[in-house]
Structure 1
């Protein structure tokens, strides 16, 4: 580990705000978590891989309450120095779908989670928040039009052995689904053995929304930017291309705004302890919509984009028997009263994509 910024200066910060270590700070969800943690008054220490530290240092250069540290490998590196003075951890980082072999995906997710959680516990950290996923509740290939309610007691029962049987080498989403489920199961085994640590997992469904403030992305960067990339490519195909939406949307129809996901992570830092509200496995989901709905809404509110939007004539509407996620415990434990309307998610996302495209022209 090496630090790439000045030591934290706590001047102006509340003495009751713990220093929060955040992993995955350059990612879609992680960047929003950082933004909201800072806005909530937390000093933060951001963990990043070699090569990504420069962008983070530039983004937060004027902040006295942000520190950036480089960790070679979250799954195996020593966090001793990175955890010095830390009072809470938000672990967002996880291997992206299709970026490594099935075995590498699973071991990266499991070992990445356990390595930082074990070291944080040994360092005396008492509050840990970990990003999980709908895929820890149900396999990504499940029928999401079965009028089923997903609850915090549900589990994707996939095993490591079944994923590594040689038949899933080209099924990145299936492997990603398994990696999240297996990593979370291992995390709760650790939590059960260490009741002195308050652990929360946040389980969002399909995460869409605008890019976090200040984040700069190249054309290639946006094309590979998690679920935001899917949204961008579906809603704003390159000008001049006669794109059509597929008859059936091939992603999960249950959606949530990235800002709500980040808000849940930050609120979890000050939520009631598990000893009083039981295991905090918190589902985060907004209103369901499809790309078809998003495009047709944009055609109404942004008519100047109509020539850019894809053809929706063959896309089927949302079926009534779509599954839902039970967010009642999340609202109870975190005090969230409502989630961002999907129309605002669509409008804000598209504006942020257009702003990023504009920046490409300005740098040419």
Structure 2
């Protein structure tokens, strides 16, 4: 299994995608990677952990453009779709978030349907696709996968300024893209099997970050929460390597999985008070001003029963995630000061 099978990965240049690429290569599969700019190939090869002959690149400047995937799925056996507009990358909720997320997802699924060789597709969504808009700060937060519930999304509303607003716009795009995925499976009944991953807030070591100034995403939210009185995100975390490992586990066990199944990927919430304890005990050089709240261990209830059963992931602890992030950032800061 895997020796001559090819996985098409969309979103390989990202924080999660980079780990997914390496785990897939290490599992013995070949990969074909979608890149927006040709110069990205060189930066990807800097962190690749696999033989050059097992890696192929295709240049797709705009995933949402009609015909973007024409011809690129020839010879592909499986697809991992991780690409999505990230929070803070634009202000227009429709143009910068919703349309790219929905169109990019439906375009690849429509194209995959035309290729009988493709057997299995994983779409990476987000825990925010399972939470009503604005519900992230209204505990108890209980994300529900596989419920079939269609959450209401109003993209004409006024969004908050700054990161909270970007997060809500991102959440709206994830809700609508997930609904489009469900609708596609129900209506088209493709020959390939499709599952969806809903990771919580993804932390861990980054393969793509080269300097401390490049710190972004959830790792940045963790770092920036420490000197703040209140955390910026809930402590419902999952390690980036666990998300990557879940892709390979699903691929290996695909015959036993049911199409349309949605998996929540997460360690159990552990509370920002415990985050502060770890940092104070192990990283005394970091200023920690966090007081308990607004997110505590009891605010979120995350059910990973399906992932535990079908993927058999041994989740890395929240403490390990904090250590991984802080060790890398301190090393990058020290490197910058030399």
Give me the whole-angstrom Cα distance separating, in 1, the residues matched to 2:324 and 2:12: 21
Q: How many residues align?
A: 327
8 Å contact from structure 2 (residues 202, 240) kept in 1: yes
Give me the whole-angstrom Cα distance separating, in 1, the residues matched to 2:295 and 2:311: 30
Q: Report 1:326-337 matches (<5 A).
A: 326-336=303-313
Q: Report 1:102-113 matches (<5 A).
A: 102-104=93-95, 105-113=97-105
The Cα of 1:52 is off from its aligned counterpart by 2.3
Q: Report 1:154-169 matches (<5 A).
A: 154=147, 155=149, 157-159=151-153, 162-163=154-155, 165-168=156-159
The Cα of 1:359 is off from its aligned counterpart by 4.2
Q: Please, which moves more after superposition, 16-25 or 147-156?
A: 147-156
Aligned to 1:269, the other structure's residue is in SS state helix
Aligned to 1:21, the other structure's residue is in SS state strand
In structure 2, runs of 5+ residues without a counterpart are none
Q: Report 1:306-317 matches (<5 A).
A: 306-312=284-290, 314-316=291-293
Give the match for residue 166 of structure 2.
Answer: 172
- Which residue among 46, 52, 63 is the counterpart of 1:74? 63
Give the match for residue 114 of structure 1.
Answer: 106
Assess, with a 3 A threshold, how the Cα gap between structure 1 residues 62 and 128 changes in structure 2: closer, same or farther: closer
Counterpart check, 1:46 vs 2:33:
yes
Assess, with a 3 A threshold, how the Cα gap between structure 1 residues 361 and 123 changes in structure 2: closer, same or farther: farther
- Which residue among 248, 251, 254 is the counterpart of 1:269? 251
Counterpart check, 1:37 vs 2:37:
no
The Cα of 1:178 is off from its aligned counterpart by 0.8
Give the match for residue 300 of structure 2.
Answer: 323
- Using structure 1 for the length normalisation, give the TM-score: 0.81
The Cα of 1:297 is off from its aligned counterpart by 0.7
Q: Please, which moves more after superposition, 346-355 or 36-45?
A: 346-355
8 Å contact from structure 1 (residues 87, 127) kept in 2: yes
- Using structure 2 for the length normalisation, give the TM-score: 0.87
Counterpart check, 1:286 vs 2:267:
yes
Give me the whole-angstrom Cα distance separating, in 2, the residues matched to 1:156 and 1:323: 20
The Cα of 1:182 is off from its aligned counterpart by 0.5
RMSD (Å), alpha carbons: 2.5
Give me the whole-angstrom Cα distance separating, in 1, the residues matched to 2:323 and 2:44: 27
Aligned to 2:262, the other structure's residue is in SS state strand
The Cα of 1:232 is off from its aligned counterpart by 3.0
